[in-house]
A = this chain, B = another copy of it.
Amino acid sequence: MSIEHSILAVLSFGPSSGYDIKSEFEHEASGLFWGASYGSIYPKLKKLEETGYIFALEEEDEGRKKKLYELTKKGWLELEQWLGETPSYPIIKDELFMKMGSWHRDMDLKILVNHLLERKKQSEHLLRFVTEWPKNGVSYIDQVGMLAIQYAKMRLETELLWIDRTIEMIQSGDLPKAQDTRGNAEKMITRRRKTLQE
C-alpha cells in the first residue's frame, strides 16, 4: 500500500489532480526518492476516494478543467499512521553498478569512463537542481523535508567525488586488487575466451 500513501503525502500539501501528482513525482527532486506511473495513479485516486481517504473538489470552471482531490480527516489519520511506521529499507536499481559488477578483466575501460562521465553530467545536473531548489518554483517544503534535501546533496556530492577519483584511478592504471579468494580470475578468463572462440 505504498503508492497510495505517497499519493496521500502529495495531497497533504494541498489539492492536486492526478496530473499534478505525476508531475510532483517527476519533479527531479522527488524523483530522487520515489515515482509512480499514470497507470497506477488514476486507479488509486478512485480507490482512495471510494475508501474515503480523499474527496474531489467541485471543479470551478476557470480555465482548464481538472479534478482536484483533497485529504479527508480519515486520509490525514491514515497518512500520519503510515508516517509512524518504520520505513522499509530503500530499493535501488542502478545499472551502472550492475554493469561494473560484471565488468571482466579484458573489457575496454574507455567505455566505462564514458559511462562514468555521462553519470557525472546527470548527477551534476541533479545536484544543481537540488541546490537551487527555491528558484525552481517549489512553493513549500518544511524543515524536516529540508533535512532530506540536505541528504540528497551530500549523497550527490559523494557520488561526484567518487566518480572523479574513479576516473583518475582508471586512467592512471591504479586499480584496486581483485578479490580472488580461490584463484578464479584465470579460470574465468580462459573459460570466457574459450566460449568466444567456439
Q: How many copies, total?
A: 2
Complex Cα gap A184–B105 (Å):
56
Which residues of A pack against B, CB within 8 Å? Answer: 2, 5-6, 9-10, 12-14, 30, 32-35, 71-73, 76-77, 79-80, 82-84, 86-105, 107, 109, 111-112, 114-115, 118-119, 122, 133-134, 138-148, 150-152, 154-155, 158-159, 161-162, 166, 169-170, 175-182, 184-185, 188, 191-192, 195-196, 198
What's the least CB distance linking A2 to chain B, in Å?
7
B87 touches A96 (CB 8 A): yes
Q: Which residues of B sit under 8 angstroms from A32, Cβ to Cβ?
A: 92, 97
Q: How far is the CA of A44 from the CA of B146 in the complex (A)?
A: 42
CB of A90 within 8 A of CB of B94, answer yes
Check if B94 sits within 8 Å of A146, measured CB to CB. no
A-B contact sample (20 more), CB < 8 A, given A87-B99, A112-B144: A12-B192, A14-B191, A34-B94, A35-B93, A76-B195, A80-B107, A83-B102, A83-B103, A87-B119, A100-B147, A100-B148, A101-B145, A101-B148, A104-B142, A138-B179, A140-B185, A142-B178, A143-B177, A147-B175, A154-B162
